[in-house]
C-alpha cells in the first residue's frame, strides 16, 4: 500500500503553524462538547504500543479513541514478539494489516522512524527520548485557554533540556512565542533542535533563547514550565542530577519573578519537593490539572486531523 497519502506525527515539526492552530481549534470544540465526532472512528482500531510506563498517555488515548467511536488496542513490549527479537519494522508491517493507526511510546526516536517507514498506517509518537510531541499539543491548548493567545507570549522552561523541552521549542516557535530554556551546563537541549526552532521563529515572529540562570530566564514570563530532573531510563542518575538541578526548582520565589499573570505547567508525573514545590503545583497559578486533561482533547483532535476528518 502506498504511503504518499498518509500522515505521521513523529515530531511537532510534522505540523505547520496553520495546522497546529487548526488542531487546537478542533480540540477546543471537542472539549466543549464531548459528543462531537463520536462516530468518526467507528469500525477503526488504533494500536497503542508502550515500551515505557504511562499513565496520562495511555488513559487519554484509550478514552479518546473510544469517545471517537474507535477501538483502542493497548499492548506493552512484553505482549509483543518485540521482546523476543522481532524487528520494529516487521511489527509495523504486520500491525498495518490489522489496525488503522499505531501509537508508540518508546526510547530511541530511530525506532519510531523505522516503524513509520515500514508501516502503511499513520504512526504517532506518544513519547521518545528525543521528543514528546503529543504533550506539546496539550501545552499549547492550555496556554491559549488561560492566556487567550499564544503569539507574543513568553514561555520559560526551567530544568533538563530533554524531550519535553525539545517539543516546547518547536511548538512555541511555530506559534510565535518566545521560548526560553534555562538549563545547567551539560544539560542543554540538543543544538540542532535549538537551531531548527530558531529558524521557525524567524518566520513566525517568535524567539528562542537559551540561558543558564533561571532567575534571569523567568523575568516577564507568562508561562513557567518544568519537568522531572531524571527522565525514564535515567533513574540511576537521579541523586547526582538532584544536586545539579536544585537551583532550578520551581518554587514561589522563582514564580514571583515571572509576570503577574503567569501560569505554571508540568507535564507530570511530578516529584514534589524536587523540581516543583507543593505550594506552586497546588497553588492558584497552577494550570497543571487542566494541562493533563487537555491531553485527551488534543489527542482526539490529532487523530481526526491525521485521518483528514477535521
**pLDDT, tens digit, for every residue of 289-304?**
999 999 999 999 999 9
Question: The C-alpha cell of 171 is what?
Answer: 511548538
Residue 132 annotated to the active site: yes
- Overall CATH class of domain 135-291: alpha beta
If phi > 0 it is left, if psi is from -120 to 50 it is alpha, else beta; for residue 196 that is alpha
- Measured between alpha carbons, how far is 2 from 4 in angstroms, rounded to an integer? 6
Choosing from 56, 67, 134, 135, the catalytic residue is: 135
Q: Would residue 81 show up in a list of annotated catalytic residues for this protein?
A: no
Low-confidence ranges of the chain (pLDDT < 50): 1-5
* pLDDT given at position 1: 40
Nearest to 131 by CA among 161, 174, 88, 176: 161
* In the chain, domain spans: 12-131+295-306, 135-291
Strands 178-182 and 263-266, bridge-based pairing: unpaired
> Of 56, 111, 132, 241, which is the active-site residue?
132
Strands 154-158 and 223-226: parallel
Domains 12-131+295-306 and 135-291 fall in the same CATH topology: yes
From 56, 58, 105, 144, active-site residue: 105
> What pLDDT does 106 receive?
96
Looking at residue 231, its pLDDT comes to 79
Determine which one of 56, 266, 295, 297 is catalytic.
Answer: 295
Beta-carbon count within 10 A of 252 CB? 11
Catalytic status, residue 278 = no
Which of 121-134 are b and which e, b meaning 16 or more Cβ less than 10 Å from the residue's Cβ?
bbbbbbbbbbbbbb
CB atoms closer than 10 angstroms to residue 43:
9
Look up the pTM and report it.
Answer: 0.96
Q: Out of 13, 129, 160, 227, which one is annotated catalytic?
A: 227
C-alpha cell at 68: 471517537
DSSP string, 226-259: E--SS-TT-GGGHHHHHHHHGGG-B-HHHHTTS-
CA distances (Å), 158 to each of 137, 180, 188, 211, in order?
19, 8, 11, 10
The CATH topology of domain 12-131+295-306 is Rossmann fold (3.40.50)
- Please report the pLDDT score of residue 77 as a whole number: 79
Catalytic residue among 267, 291, 294, 297: 267
79 is catalytic: no
Active site residue 160: no
CA dist 137 and 27 (Å) reads 9
Active site residue 267: yes
Q: Which helix (H) or strand (E) holds 56?
A: helix 56-67
Amino acid at each position: 500500500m502506498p504511503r504518499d497519502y498518509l500522515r505521521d506525527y513523529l515530531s511537532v515539526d510534522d505540523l505547520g503553524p496553520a495546522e497546529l492552530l487548526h488542531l487546537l481549534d478542533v480540540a477546543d470544540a471537542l472539549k466543549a462538547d464531548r459528543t462531537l465526532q463520536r462516530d468518526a472512528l467507528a469500525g477503526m482500531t488504533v494500536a497503542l504500543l508502550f515500551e515505557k510506563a504511562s499513565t496520562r498517555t495511555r488513559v487519554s488515548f484509550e478514552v479518546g479513541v473510544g469517545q471517537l467511536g474507535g477501538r483502542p488496542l493497548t499492548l506493552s513490549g512484553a505482549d509483543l514478539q518485540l521482546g523476543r527479537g522481532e524487528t520494529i519494522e516487521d511489527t509495523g508491517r504486520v500491525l498495518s494489516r490489522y489496525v488503522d493507526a499505531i501509537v508508540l511510546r518508546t526510547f530511541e526516536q530511530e525506532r519510531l522512524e523505522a516503524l513509520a517507514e515500514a508501516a502503511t498506517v499513520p504512526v504517532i509518537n506518544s513519547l521518545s527520548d528525543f521528543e514528546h510531541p503529543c504533550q506539546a499539543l496539550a501545552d499549547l491548548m492550555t496556554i491559549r485557554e488561560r492566556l487567550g493567545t499564544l503569539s507574543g507570549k513568553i514561555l520559560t522552561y526551567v530544568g533538563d533540556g530533554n524531550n519535553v523541552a525539545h517539543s516546547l521549542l518547536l511548538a512555541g516557535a511555530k506559534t510565535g512565542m518566545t521560548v526560553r530554556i534555562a538549563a545547567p551546563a551539560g544539560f542543554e537541549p540538543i543544538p540542532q533542535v535549538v537551531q531548527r526552532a530558531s529558524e521557525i521563529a524567524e518566520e513566525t515572529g517568535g524567539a528562542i533563547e537559551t540561558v543558564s540562570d533561571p532567575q534571569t530566564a523567568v523575568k516577564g514570563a507568562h508561562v513557567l514550565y518544568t519537568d522531572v530532573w531524571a527522565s525514564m531510563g535515567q533513574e540511576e542518575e537521579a541523586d547526582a542530577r538532584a544536586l545539579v538541578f536544585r537551583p532550578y526548582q520551581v518554587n514561589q520565589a522563582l514564580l514571583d519573578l515571572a509576570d503577574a499573570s503567569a501560569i505554571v505547567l508540568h507535564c507530570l508525573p511530578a516529584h514534589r519537593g524536587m523540581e516543583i514545590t507543593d505550594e506552586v503545583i497546588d497553588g492558584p497559578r497552577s494550570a497543571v490539572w487542566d494541562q493533563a486533561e487537555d491531553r485527551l482533547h488534543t489527542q482526539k483532535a490529532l487523530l481526526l486531523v491525521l485521518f483528514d476528518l477535521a
